[in-house]
Amino acid sequence: MNPTPRTAILTPGFQETKLVRVFPQGWNEEAAKFEPSSIAGPADQLRRLTKLDLGLRHAVIVFTYGVEAGLSDDDRDNFWDAFGVPVFEQYLGRGNELLAVECDAHTGLHLVGDFEAPDQDRRACACGSPNPRLPRRARIGELAELLIEAPMAFGDATATR
Ligand SMILES: [Zn+2]
């Protein structure tokens, strides 16, 4: 067992690092050789993998894009059953910039950066993050609209472009 927390991103448009590799065509032999402990990608990509044993040990990260509905409870349950690791949702903007990240406590998605969103919740979160939260499955469309005008200043976004 390799304890290194490696992440395979199964969709194009992201920057690679030592521990993050991008597989633009999705899961393939090369991705398997990389032996990721976590995978990240849009729900439709992940749905294709639920019959495989990927040997994940950390997390599944589901990308949701501006115009889409958030991750459904059915998908969330399926991914949990199939992959056997916690499922976290992330909201991405049009340029793959990170907008909001589901927290460890699964109480919502914390906004990344310092813009405002409607319906945001500023109460302290069990996970310790001070960033405001969106309720799960917030109206991401509204958020995305706000962000088009927001400066591109998202701290440690994994995206390039
Ligand atoms: Zn939190």
Mean of per-residue pLDDT scores for the chain: 83
How far is the centre of ligand 1, averaged over its atoms, from the C-alpha of 127 (Å)? 4
Are 66 and 38 a contacting pair, CB within 8 Å? Answer: no
* Residues 121-128, mean pLDDT to the nearest whole number: 89
Domain spans of the chain, in order of start: 7-148
CB neighbour class for 57 (10 Å; exposed up to 12, middle 13-18, buried from 19) = middle
pLDDT interval class at 67 (50, 70, 90): low
Kindly report whether the global pTM for this prediction surpasses the value 0.75.
yes
Q: Which of 57-61, 97-101, 103-107, 129-133 has the highest mean pLDDT?
A: 57-61
How far is the centre of ligand 1, averaged over its atoms, from the C-alpha of 142 (Å)? 21
How far is the centre of ligand 1, averaged over its atoms, from the C-alpha of 133 (Å)? 7
pLDDT interval class at 55 (50, 70, 90): very high
Q: Which helix (H) or strand (E) holds 115?
A: none
Q: Which of 6-20, 21-35, 130-144 is predicted with the least confidence, judged by mean pLDDT? A: 130-144
Q: Which of 36-40, 76-80, 137-141 is predicted with the least confidence, judged by mean pLDDT? A: 137-141
How far is the centre of ligand 1, averaged over its atoms, from the C-alpha of 153 (Å)? 21
Are 128 and 61 a contacting pair, CB within 8 Å? Answer: no
How far is the centre of ligand 1, averaged over its atoms, from the C-alpha of 39 (Å)? 21
How far is the centre of ligand 1, averaged over its atoms, from the C-alpha of 100 (Å)? 11
Please give the backbone phi and psi of residue 80, each rounded to the nearest 5 degrees, phi first. -60, -45
Task: Write down the CATH number for the domain with range 7-148.
Answer: 3.40.50
- Between CA 72 and CA 78 the distance in angstroms is 10
Are 98 and 159 a contacting pair, CB within 8 Å? Answer: yes
How far is the centre of ligand 1, averaged over its atoms, from the C-alpha of 63 (Å)? 18
- Between CA 80 and CA 76 the distance in angstroms is 6
First vs last C-alpha separation in the chain: 34
